[in-house]
Amino acid sequence: MSALLSVTDAHVAYGKVEAVRSVALEVGENQIVTIVGANGAGKTTLLSAIMGILPLKGRVAFAGQDLARLDIEDRVAMGLGLVPEHRELFVTMNVEDNLELGAFRIERSKAKASMEQVYALFPRLKERRKQLAGTLSGGEQQMLAMGRALMGAPKLLMLDEPSLGLAPIIVADIFRIITELRASGVSVLLVEQNAQAALKIADQAYVMELGEFVLSGKASDIAANEAVAASYLGFQHEGASVL
């Protein structure tokens, strides 16, 4: 399988402080890849840099093309989408306008169809389509942020902490939808502190610590790793094998 996204030897720095050091990462087609790690490990920084929000030293290729010279907007047009941790919604505009703008780079005729798909995925958004985004609950805002990103017809959707601050029942819903996305042909790069849930649905996983990947492999293997379990999953596996 050829990789949809491939990152090699990536460094991201805030001034002189390197927040991400020589990271390599691959996301294949129809794959959910997760990056787990503690708060401050550099996960959000890495996603921002892949999206072009922060400058990245190293190589990022998407769908076979080097992204180095492309702006955020061009990366969006190529099919790379990011749902940032803070969601960055248009809070004074209604749900429908937020979604419509998500398809800014898409043909109008296709945008209509995408909106129906998003509403099918998140029926709650359809009920609230005339409500201002800023007045939605946290879970609904997360759905809207994902919906807006999906309106751009991404090939790869990067999700930054989609479960942060949400009720468990909504978290379950969002993780279910992430697996549905994979089934519909969208790859997902998922950054999560809720490692247990993320590893359960992911195909591949990377464990990040202090700006570096310390472990990578199949998500099921990572989940079974005792060291990972102890530090990130909050429990010990019975009879888990050490990688």
Partner 1 sequence: MNTTIMLFLLQDGITNGAIYALLGLALVLVFAVTRVILIPQGEFVTYGALTYASLASGQMPGTAKLALAMGTVAFAFDLFVARKALHGRLIVRSVLANIVLPAIVLAVTLYFAGQKPPVAVCIALSLLIVAMIGLFLYRIAFQPLAHTSVLVLLIASVGVHLALQGLGLLFFGAEGQRGPAVLSGAFTAGSLRFTGQSITVYGITIAFIVGLWLFFGLTLYGKALRATAVNRLGARLAGIRTTLSGQIAFLLASVIGALSGIMIVPITTLYYDSGFLIGLKGFVAAIIGGLVSYPLTAVAALFVGIVEAFSSFYASNYKEVIVFMLLIPVLLLRSLAAPAVEEEKD
**Quick check: helix, strand or coil at residue 161?**
coil
66 binds partner 1 (CB under 8 A): no
Q: How many residues bind partner 1 (CB under 8 A)?
A: 29
Inter-residue contact 28 to 4 (CB < 8 Å)? yes
**Quick check: helix, strand or coil at residue 185?**
coil
Q: In terms of CB distance, is 53 or 215 closer to partner 1?
A: 53
Among 37, 152, 162, 211, binds partner 1 (CB under 8 A): 152
Phi–psi pair at 38, nearest 5 degrees: -70, 170
Give the distance, in angstroms, between the CA of residue 162 and the centroid of all CA atoms in the same chain: 8
Pattern 106-145, partner 1, x by CB under 8 A: --x-------------------------------------
Among 66, 72, 137, 230, binds partner 1 (CB under 8 A): 72
How far apart are the C-alpha atoms of 23 and 1, rounded to whole Å? Answer: 21
Cβ count near 213 (within 10 Å): 20
209 binds partner 1 (CB under 8 A): no
Q: Please, where are the H alpha helices in 71-218? A: 72-78, 95-102, 108-121, 123-127, 138-151, 168-183, 195-201
CB of 219 to partner 1, least distance (A): 27
Q: In this chain, which stretch among 34-42, 69-77, 163-171, 205-213 interacts with partner 1, using CB under 8 A? A: 69-77
147 binds partner 1 (CB under 8 A): no
Residue the block writes with tokens 């958004």: 125
Give the residues lining the site for partner 1 (CB under 8 A): 51, 53, 69, 71-73, 76-77, 81-82, 84, 87-93, 97, 100-102, 104-105, 108, 148-149, 151-152
